[in-house]
Amino acid sequence: MASQFSASLPDGHDHGESEEVIREQALAESGQSQAMYNYSQKLMERKERELMESIAKNYGRIREVERELGNLQLQLKLTAGPKKLALEVLRRKIEEQNERVAYVRAKHTTAKATYERLDAELKQEEAAKEQLCQELNMLVQQAARAQMDKLEQLKTQLESLYAGVLPGDVAQPQQQPSSPAGPSGSAAAGAGAQAQQNATGSGAASAGPAPAAEPESQQQQQQRQEQERQEQERKRQEAEAAERRRR
């Protein structure tokens, strides 16, 4: 369009018009550049504003975190003393408890050793007591057996003594039916009976001291047995007293 207009005009006019066109184009270009500049400036301002808002927001958060950190440090400073004191008290209590545990453990060890020693001694004393009881039972059985033997011996002696005395008494009734009848027979029988009676009396007189001596020996034996029994009872009581003293 500018070329058509320049073609229809003369040359002087062509030069002036071309300058105007160039000037208009420069103005147009400068307007576009200004618009672009303004747009770029606005964009930069908006980005800068967003950046500042973000910085302000983050700065607020940083301030809040710093404030919380300061409060925490203050609390730590305020509670550091009591906590340290509490820790020290607990440490001392733990040390004291350790000492008590060591003391009780030592007592337990000593008591355990004492218990084991006393248990061994108790077993030994019980074994000694059992042996003494067995010996006592053996002595009692031996004494009872000896008493039974003595009684059997006395019984045999008494039976032998009675057997030596009784045959003379039994022989007299057996000789009476064999005597002859009549006065002469009766006289002979009377003489025989008298002789037999005299013989029996002499035999009884000769055997008489034995039964008298026998009860005396039996009484002495009973006294001796009673003394032995008392001696055994005394020994048993002494053994029981010694056992009680050991306990």
Q: What is the pLDDT of residues 71-115, one digit of tens each?
A: 888 888 877 778 888 889 999 999 999 999 999 999 999 999 999
Asked if the structure places residue 195 within a domain, the reply is no
| Number of domains comprising the chain | 1
**Euclidean distance between the first and the last CA atom of the chain, given in angstroms as a whole number:** 146
Q: What pLDDT is stored for residue 111 in this prediction?
A: 95
Per the CB < 8 A criterion, the answer to whether 207 and 160 are in contact is: no
List, in order, residues 6 or more apart from 107 with CB less than 8 Å away: none
Q: What pLDDT is stored for residue 216 in this prediction?
A: 55
Candidates 140, 121, 124, 135; CA nearest to 239 is 135
Asked if the structure places residue 27 within a domain, the reply is yes
Q: What pLDDT is stored for residue 75 in this prediction?
A: 82
Asked if the structure places residue 64 within a domain, the reply is yes
Asked if the structure places residue 14 within a domain, the reply is yes
**Cβ contacts of 138-147, under 8 Å, gap ≥ 24:** 139/232, 139/235, 140/232, 143/225, 143/228, 143/229, 143/232, 147/225
Domain membership of residue 91 as a residue range = 2-113
Asked if the structure places residue 129 within a domain, the reply is no
Q: What pLDDT is stored for residue 191 in this prediction?
A: 43
Per the CB < 8 A criterion, the answer to whether 221 and 158 are in contact is: no
Identify the band that residue 234 occupies on the pLDDT scale cut at 50, 70 and 90.
Answer: confident
Q: Position of tokens 């002494």?
A: 238
Q: What pLDDT is stored for residue 10 in this prediction?
A: 45
Q: What is the pLDDT of residues 113-128, one digit of tens each?
A: 999 999 999 999 999 9
Identify the band that residue 31 occupies on the pLDDT scale cut at 50, 70 and 90.
Answer: low
- Average pLDDT for the chain: 73
State phi, psi for 180 to the nearest 5 degrees: -70, 155
Q: What is the pLDDT of residues 169-219, one digit of tens each?
A: 444 444 444 444 444 444 444 444 444 444 444 443 334 444 444 555 667
Q: What pLDDT is stored for residue 96 in this prediction?
A: 95
Candidates 224, 245, 239, 223; CA nearest to 137 is 239
Per the CB < 8 A criterion, the answer to whether 27 and 19 are in contact is: no
List, in order, residues 6 or more apart from 44 with CB less than 8 Å away: none
Q: What pLDDT is stored for residue 64 in this prediction?
A: 87
Q: Residue 193 belongs to what H/E stretch? A: helix 183-207
Tokens read off for 136? 């006592």
Q: What is the DSSP string of 81-143?
A: HHHHHHHHHHHHHHHHHHHHHHHHHHHHHHHHHHHHHHHHHHHHHHHHHHHHHHHHHHHHHHH
Per the CB < 8 A criterion, the answer to whether 208 and 161 are in contact is: no
Largest CA distance in the chain: 242
Tokens read off for 109? 């060890």
